[in-house]
Amino acid sequence: MQHNQFEHAVSSIIEKEKRFEPGAYFLVREALDFTVDRLSKASNNEKRHVSGHELLLGFRDYVLQEYGPMGATVLEDWGIRKCHHVGEIVFIFIEHGVFGKQDSDKLDDFGEAYVFEEAFKAPFLAKA
């Protein structure tokens, strides 16, 4: 999906969906791109489906890389407070035709792979 089409899709989504700030949708898309690139490099540039669990791990790594110690604050401000919220955004994208899915994909795939507090704050706390 082209950048302008994606922006239009997000504009359409946020007219109806008020649970998450617009930045949350862009972040999940960026994290998906990051995850796809990482998995492609690991498998000799072979494109494949990304599981919910793989996306959650990529999401965590992308947020830590891009936002560092501010990641937890950004996520909180945009309404992403747990792994399940990432899945909710993915399924909103699916409902609006932005992302595709396999028959086996379900929201439960975005179970709590990690605790946000530990994933996004703990790496930056002073070690005793």
Please state whether the predicted TM-score (pTM) of the whole model is above 0.75. yes
The answer to whether 35 touches 50, Cβ cutoff 8 Å, is yes
The answer to whether 54 touches 113, Cβ cutoff 8 Å, is no
As a whole number of angstroms, the distance between CA 54 and CA 14 comes to: 26
pLDDT score recorded for residue 1: 57
Instruction: Give the tokens for residue 110.
Output: 């975005």
pLDDT score recorded for residue 44: 75
pLDDT per residue as tens, the chain (128 positions): 567 899 999 999 999 999 999 999 999 999 999 999 999 888 777 777 899 999 999 999 999 999 999 999 999 999 999 999 999 999 999 999 999 999 999 999 998 899 999 999 999 998 87
Sign, CA torsion 95/101/104/105: negative
pLDDT score recorded for residue 72: 97
What is 44-89 written as a DSSP string? TT---PPPHHHHHHHHHHHHHHHHGGGHHHHHHHHT--SHHHHHHH
